[in-house]
Every structure is written in C-alpha cells, then in structure tokens.
Structure 1
Amino acid sequence: MNTEVVLRRAGGPDAGAVADVWLRSYSTALPTVVRARSDDEVRAYFRDVVVPERETWVAAAGGRIVGMMVLADGLLSQLYLDPAWRGRGVGDRFVALAKELRPGGLTLWTFQVNKPAHRFYERHGFVAVEYTDGSGNEEREPDVRYVWRP
C-alpha cells in the first residue's frame, strides 16, 4: 500500500469518518477500557463539537480518513489512527505537525494501560509528569500526563 498521506484540517463532511477512526482505534488499542459513551454519542460529539469547534486535523489516504488529531491551545487532546495505519509514520507526522503548530510546548493525557502510546510519545521527547487514579476522566481509568518542551 503506497498511498500518499495528506494531513489537512478537518471539515464538516469529515466528521463521520473521523468518529469511525476514533472508534476503531479506541477498540483496538484500549480493549480493557470501558468507554463512557455509546458509538452514537461519539459520532454526535465529533459531528457537533469536535470537528466544527476544535482544531481537528485528519490524515487522508486514497480518499479515506486514516487518522485524526485534535489540538486545543497547548493540549494534544486526541491522536488516533486507523489500526491498519499504525506503524507507518502517520502518527510521527501528526506529532511533528503539533510541535510545529505549538512550538512553545505540548501536554497530553493517555491511559496508563496504553503502553504503546507511552513508548510512542516518549520516543518523540514527551516526559511523564503526573499519574492519576482516573478520578478526573469520564472513563474512571488511571491515566498519565505527558509534557513536551522544546
């Protein structure tokens, strides 16, 4: 599969595909984490809030959305890839874009059980600075806050 991947801002018509990538990625990467919202609620959230109101980026390849990233000020609030596109450099490109757009630094949260995400972010210079019991997130899942400073 040698399809060119283009990173671009998401638009309203992308919302369904963005939500689908999030759902597939979450189910694959976090099988033990109970989601706080149903599939329909997730799709509505992406349609009504995330894509229209947040700085949402997509990775598009061959006419399909294969990844998504959301930035909010200095927070990298979401980065999810279609499972078939993991390990192919798309996440690296998203992080490089996030650093370019937020040169003063970034912070993010990931679940403690998501060890592949820990390795990924640490490889990109993020440092774990806080561990919680999960009482501050809607999944009630222990998480970790990472920070990148240039």
Structure 2
Amino acid sequence: MSSDRAVVLRRAADSDAGPAAEVWLRSFAAALPSVVRPRSDDDVRDYFRDVVVPLRETWVAETDGAVVGVMVLDGEHLSQLYLAPDWRGRGLGDRFVVLAKERSPRELTLWTFQVNEPAHRFYERHGFVAVERTDGSGNEEREPDVRYVWRP
C-alpha cells in the first residue's frame, strides 16, 4: 500500500465516477452495516455517473492510479465523504476536511447517521457541532441522523 504522501486530492473527472462509486459502496458497507440502503449498487453507480461527478463539486483521493476516497461539496454542504475501508485512520479524511474548509471558509454543514459514532468523533474533532437530530423521516434510509455545522 502506498504512503499517504503519495495520495493526491484532485477534482473528479468523468472517468472517476465508477471508481468513486465503488469507494462509496465499500465504505458504506464497512462503516454502516446496520443501515438499509434504499438503492441498489447499480443505482449508486448511475447516480455517481449522471449526477455526482458531472453536477457537484466532486473531489477524489488517488494513489497509484486508484481512487481511494471521495468528497462531494454542494455549496456550503459537505454532502459526502467516504474513504476506502483500508484508508480510514490514515489522515486522508483530515485532508479532505481541510480542503472542504478552504472551499467553504465561512460555514460547512453535513448530515451523518446517529449510529455512525466514529463519524461523530471525527467531525467533532474538526470543530463541527451537532445542531439538530432527527428521527430519520427526512432521509431515504429512514435512519435517525444528526446535522453538524462548522463555522470558523
């Protein structure tokens, strides 16, 4: 496996949609095994190809030609941050959050599931504050979630 220094963060190209979707699928399965996904793997791949990469500010982490992380910004909303499971805990998420704060220096918001305690710790370590909790009726998964906000 490459050293973290060999990882480049860059804007996603159309050709990154498939590899980014695969990172999302593997990461979601590893981090959120109890959360029922309402969409099939192929639906996720189509969504990355047709919506995420062409229409959102999508960034990938790449090493040795392989995509190992994906971050999606939608204005001041950090809508997605997923790492390949074997890249968790190696500083890559930290680099993505620094980049997100540079891209949205006044405020960032995000949602994460209540069951995702590691994400809570990660975002709180980066200065995000939980401002709202829901019963999940507003998301596709119907999973209770938490809205976090970061302001400098």
Report the TM-score, using the length of structure 2 for normalisation: 0.97
Residue of structure 2 equivalent to 1:141: 143
Residue of structure 1 equivalent to 2:85: 83
User: CA deviation digits over 1:25-84, x for unaligned, max 9?
Assistant: 000000000001000000000001100111000000111000000000110000000000
Q: Distance in 1 between matches of 2:127 and 2:7?
A: 24
Shift of 1:129: 0.3
Matched to 2:137, the amino acid is S
Residue of structure 1 equivalent to 2:60: 58
Q: Determine if contact 2:135/2:145 at 8 Å carries over to the other structure.
A: yes
- Please list every run of 5 or more consecutive structure 1 residues that lacks an aligned counterpart in the other structure: none
Matched to 1:16, the amino acid is G
Residue of structure 2 equivalent to 1:98: 100
Name which of 48, 60, 76 aligns with 2:50: 48
Q: Which runs of 4+ in 1 moved over 6 A?
A: none
Residue of structure 2 equivalent to 1:37: 39
Q: How many aligned residue pairs are there?
A: 150
Q: Distance in 1 between matches of 2:29 and 2:47?
A: 17
Residue of structure 1 equivalent to 2:131: 129
Residue of structure 2 equivalent to 1:27: 29
Q: Distance in 2 between matches of 1:104 and 1:46?
A: 27
Shift of 1:2: 3.7
Q: Distance in 2 between matches of 1:60 and 1:76?
A: 19
Q: Distance in 2 between matches of 1:36 and 1:147?
A: 26
Q: Distance in 2 between matches of 1:132 and 1:49?
A: 26
Q: Distance in 1 between matches of 2:2 and 2:114?
A: 33
Over aligned residue pairs, what C-alpha RMSD do you find? 0.6
Q: Distance in 2 between matches of 1:2 and 1:20?
A: 19
Matched to 2:14, the amino acid is G
Seq. identity, %: 75
Report the TM-score, using the length of structure 1 for normalisation: 0.99
Q: Distance in 2 between matches of 1:116 and 1:21?
A: 18
